[in-house]
Structure 1
Amino acid sequence: MPLIQVQMFTGRTPQQKRDLVRALTDAFVETAGSTPDAVDVILTDVEQSDWAQGGELFSEKKSK
């Protein structure tokens, strides 16, 4: 059972998430030869205050 995990900033709509899950599943099926019902996708929303790059929180980068 393939598992695709995506961590992304919060703010996507339920429809955007549905579209993303479908696109990821379709891409895996086409590329790896799996079946759609075997592909699991976990979406994890992360606040910008909980994600850093280069030693700086994304929430603080936006305010500059």
Structure 2
Amino acid sequence: MPLIQINIIEGRSKEKKEQLIAEVTDAVHRSLDAPTESIRVLLYELPREHWAVGGVSMAERRKNRD
């Protein structure tokens, strides 16, 4: 039973998240020949304040960009 965990920054639409889940499931099915019913996808959405690159949160990066 493959278990795929994905971390993304919050803010994407329900439709985009459903598309991601479907496409990742399909890719795992094709690459591992795993039954689709056995594939689990866990999607974790993190606030921009909890995601940092180079010591700066994505919230700060966005604020400085605007």
TM-score (norm 1): 0.94
Gaps of 5+ in 1: none
Q: Tell me the residue number matched to 1:26.
A: 26
Give identity over the alignment, percent: 30
Structure 2 counterparts to residues 1-64 of structure 1, below 5 A: 1-64=1-64
Residue deviations 1:17-62 (CA, integer Å, cap 9, x gap) = 1111110000000011101001000001101011111111111011
Aligned Cα RMSD in Å?
0.7
* SS across alignment from 1:63: helix
Q: Give 1:63 shift.
A: 1.5
Alignment coverage as a number of residue pairs: 64
Higher helix fraction (1 or 2): 2
Gaps of 5+ in 2: none
Distance in 2 between residues matched to 1:17 and 1:61, nearest whole Å? 23
Runs of 4+ in 1 over 6 A off after TM superposition: none
